[in-house]
Amino acid sequence: MLLQELQEQVLKLSVSDRLALISAIVTSLQTTLTPQADKKILINQMRSFLKTEQAPPTDAEVQAMLEERLLEKYL
């Protein structure tokens, strides 16, 4: 169905049916658009959490941190 045909059909609906249609369209748009916007916001927030002035730890430093944690946990 073309947009023009759809618009003609909508005008034939009662006021309450048109309001219900508007509600359904708004709901469908919110569910379509909101997750994408939320994802972008969350991704940007996570990126800001990861920013640091320090260099990332080396493999040896990570291994030492893991060993230290295991010692704390089990001793």
Query: What are the tens digits of pLDDT across the range 4-54?
Result: 999 999 999 999 999 999 999 998 888 777 676 677 888 888 888 777 888
Please give the Cα distance from 75 to 30 (Å, whole number): 53
Contact 20, 12 (CB under 8 A): no
Q: What is the extent of the structural domain holding 46?
A: 12-50
In terms of pTM, does the model score above 0.85?
no
- Computed on alpha carbons and rounded to an integer, the radius of gyration of the chain in Å comes to 27
Amino acid of residue 9: Q
User: What is the predicted pLDDT for the residue at 41?
Assistant: 83
Domain assignment present for residue 25? The answer is yes
Residue 34 is encoded by which pair of tokens?
């909101």
| Of residues 61 and 42, more confidently modeled | 61
CB proximity list for 1: less than 8 A, separation 6 or greater: 9
Is a pLDDT exceeding 80 seen at residue 73? Answer: yes
Task: Work out how many domains the chain is built from and give that number.
Answer: 1
Please indicate, yes or no, if residue 16 is contained in any of the structural domains.
yes
